[in-house]
């Protein structure tokens, strides 16, 4: 009994008021000899108030009775953290000898007919503190209590119980905290020790990330160039498309300047650098051939209009602003819209990606402005064969701006 902290006057008066109003909620537990295991104060207060006090007798030995006394008081009483840990440490001492044997068996246990399974053992609680916590929790569950303990709580409780008496008194007086008392090494010292730099001679030399990134980019650029030059005629040439798109994007910005004014803004030593007539001849011929193919294959797609960023309403404000002129759509968006108009009915995003030889992410980016501008609408959900969940379908629609104009 001396292991239990005494009830404070406040706790005693609160228990007395509860019994006076509601009676004794939990029966007093007795052993076979009539000794009280749990409920000494309840029985005393009930006798003072003349209230009925139910009892329950258990056939247990002295060790079990002592263990139950500690467990029930720990689960039901309101205590400070120091008192709770001291009582939990006393509870763990009752289980510790047998728990050590059980933990040892867990560590050496092997699956029948096989070698030691180290993977399964990593998921099992192998320390003595964990076995003690399991046994205390089993007792709490058997007694109908909802409070539980963990192996870490058992370890903290045992560490707290070993503190000197003067340290515990300082904790009660509020001079130090329980965390500070159970961690003798100051936190700042631990941080400084952890962050202590490693001597330079012991630091392994690492390759510079910038150099490695530049090397990988150079390899990728050379690979793309070779793929562009070696692509057979009549096949899809992605590196070519990317380079032409970059050229068109830059030229679309340069047309904001008048050529007569632009040439006056160059230094004299730069004239020979930009007099690339052979490049201009190739680009002009390439442009004429593209226009011929457009008229032959996709006559309903108008040539895209490239504007300077300051004049392009799409680039003003949000990058997904709706457009009221189909020619202001991006080239990839125009291609997607033209492909959708050729389809007989609603099409899923996956089918669009397969038909245009692009990724699902690229399809999402293209559909975003097409949906916002009204050129594409959602046609509903469909569930195809082998699909885990339904997919949204899309189809081309007349422009909302054209409908308003009509």
Is the model more confident about 207 or about 46?
A: 46
Residues of the chain with pLDDT > 90, as a percent, come to: 1
Mean pLDDT of 257-269: 85
Mark whether 252 and 334 lie in a shared domain.
no
Q: Is the pLDDT of residue 383 over 80?
A: no
- Confidence grade of residue 275 (pLDDT, cut at 50, 70, 90): confident
89 lies in some domain: yes
Mark whether 72 and 176 lie in a shared domain.
yes
C-alpha neighbours within 13 Å on the C-beta side of residue 124: 17
Of 28-37, 194-203, 345-354, 381-390, least confident by mean pLDDT is 194-203
- Confidence grade of residue 402 (pLDDT, cut at 50, 70, 90): very low
Per residue in 144-184, pLDDT (tens digit) is 778 888 888 888 888 888 888 888 888 888 888 888 877 75
Mark whether 79 and 149 lie in a shared domain.
yes
Mark whether 327 and 377 lie in a shared domain.
yes
Per the DSSP assignment, residues forming a β-bridge with 38 are: 29
**Cα dist from 356 to 214, 270, 350, 352, 396, whole Å:** 32, 42, 10, 6, 15
Give the pLDDT of residue 113.
47
Is the model more confident about 342 or about 115?
A: 342
Give the pLDDT of residue 318.
45
- Lay out the sheet containing 391-396: strands in order across: 347-348, 391-396, 376-382
196 lies in some domain: no
Mark whether 67 and 173 lie in a shared domain.
yes
Per residue in 7-31, pLDDT (tens digit) is 777 777 888 888 888 888 888 888 8
Mark whether 244 and 284 lie in a shared domain.
yes
Mark whether 156 and 67 lie in a shared domain.
yes
364 lies in some domain: yes
- Confidence grade of residue 306 (pLDDT, cut at 50, 70, 90): low
Mark whether 116 and 155 lie in a shared domain.
yes
204 lies in some domain: no
Is the model more confident about 263 or about 109?
A: 263
Per residue in 285-297, pLDDT (tens digit) is 998 998 898 888 8
213 lies in some domain: no
203 lies in some domain: no
Instruction: Pick the closest to residue 339 from 381, 305, 306, 370 (CA basis).
Output: 370
CA distance 63 to 86: 18
406 Cβ partners below 8 Å, 6+ apart? none
Mean pLDDT of 50-69: 81
- Confidence grade of residue 3 (pLDDT, cut at 50, 70, 90): low
The model carries a pTM of: 0.37
Give the pLDDT of residue 378.
85
Give the pLDDT of residue 116.
47
Per residue in 353-379, pLDDT (tens digit) is 988 888 888 888 888 878 888 888 888
52 lies in some domain: no
Count the Cβ atoms, other than its own, within 10 Å of residue 394. Answer: 23
39 lies in some domain: no
Per residue in 310-339, pLDDT (tens digit) is 444 444 444 555 666 777 777 888 889 889
Per residue in 96-133, pLDDT (tens digit) is 888 888 777 777 765 554 444 444 444 456 788 888 88
Range of the domain at 339: 313-405
Mark whether 158 and 103 lie in a shared domain.
yes
CA distance 286 to 301: 18
Mark whether 169 and 241 lie in a shared domain.
no
CA distance 385 to 377: 24
Mark whether 71 and 170 lie in a shared domain.
yes
The CATH number given to whatever domain includes residue 397 is: 1.10.10.10
Give the pLDDT of residue 198.
53
Is the model more confident about 389 or about 228?
A: 228
**Cα dist from 6 to 41, 73, 79, 288, whole Å:** 10, 11, 10, 99
Mark whether 352 and 248 lie in a shared domain.
no
Look at residues 224, 256, 291 and tell me which one is the last residue of a structural domain.
Answer: 291
Q: Is the pLDDT of residue 227 over 50?
A: yes
- Confidence grade of residue 196 (pLDDT, cut at 50, 70, 90): low
Structural domain count, the chain: 3
Give the pLDDT of residue 195.
52
């Amino acid at each position: 009994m001396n292991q239990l902290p005494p009830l404070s006057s406040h706790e005693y008066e609160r228990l007395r008021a509860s019994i006076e109003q509601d009676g004794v909620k939990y029966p007093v537990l007795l052993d076979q000899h009539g000794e009280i295991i749990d409920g000494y104060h309840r029985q005393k207060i009930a006798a003072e108030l003349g209230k009925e006090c139910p009892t329950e007798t258990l056939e247990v030995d002295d060790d079990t009775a002592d263990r139950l006394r500690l467990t029930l008081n720990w689960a039901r009483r309101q205590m400070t953290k120091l008192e709770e840990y001291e009582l939990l440490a006393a509870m763990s001492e009752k289980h510790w000898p047998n728990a050590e044997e059980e933990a040892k068996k867990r560590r050496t246990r092997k699956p029948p007919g096989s070698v030691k399974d180290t993977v399964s053992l990593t998921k099992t609680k192998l320390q003595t503190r964990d076995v003690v916590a399991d046994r205390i929790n089993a007792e709490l569950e058997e007694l109908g209590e909802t409070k539980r303990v963990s192996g870490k709580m058992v370890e903290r409780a045992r560490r707290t119980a070993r503190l000197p008496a003067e340290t515990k008194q300082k904790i009660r007086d509020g001079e130090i905290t329980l965390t500070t008392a159970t961690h003798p090494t100051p936190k700042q010292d631990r941080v400084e020790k952890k962050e202590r730099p490693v001597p330079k001679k012991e630091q392994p030399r690492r390759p510079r990330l910038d150099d490695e990134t530049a090397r990988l980019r150079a390899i990728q650029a050379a690979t793309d160039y070779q793929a562009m030059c070696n692509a057979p005629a009549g096949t899809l040439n992605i590196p070519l498309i990317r380079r032409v798109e970059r050229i068109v994007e830059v030229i679309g910005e340069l047309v904001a300047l008048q050529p007569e004014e632009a040439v006056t803004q160059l230094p004299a030593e730069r004239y020979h650098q930009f007099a690339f007539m052979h490049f201009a001849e190739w680009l002009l011929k390439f442009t004429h051939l593209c226009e011929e193919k457009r008229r032959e294959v996709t006559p309903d797609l108008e040539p895209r209009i490239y504007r300077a960023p300051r004049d392009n309403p799409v680039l003003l404000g949000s990058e997904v602003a709706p457009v009221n002129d189909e020619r202001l759509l991006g080239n990839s968006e125009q291609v997607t819209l033209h492909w959708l108009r050729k389809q007989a009915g609603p099409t899923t995003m996956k089918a669009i990606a397969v038909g245009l030889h692009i990724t699902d992410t690229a399809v999402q980016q293209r559909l975003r402005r097409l949906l916002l501008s009204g050129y594409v609408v959602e046609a509903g959900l469909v569930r195809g064969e082998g699909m885990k969940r339904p997919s949204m379908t899309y189809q081309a629609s007349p422009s909302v701006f054209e409908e308003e104009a009509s």
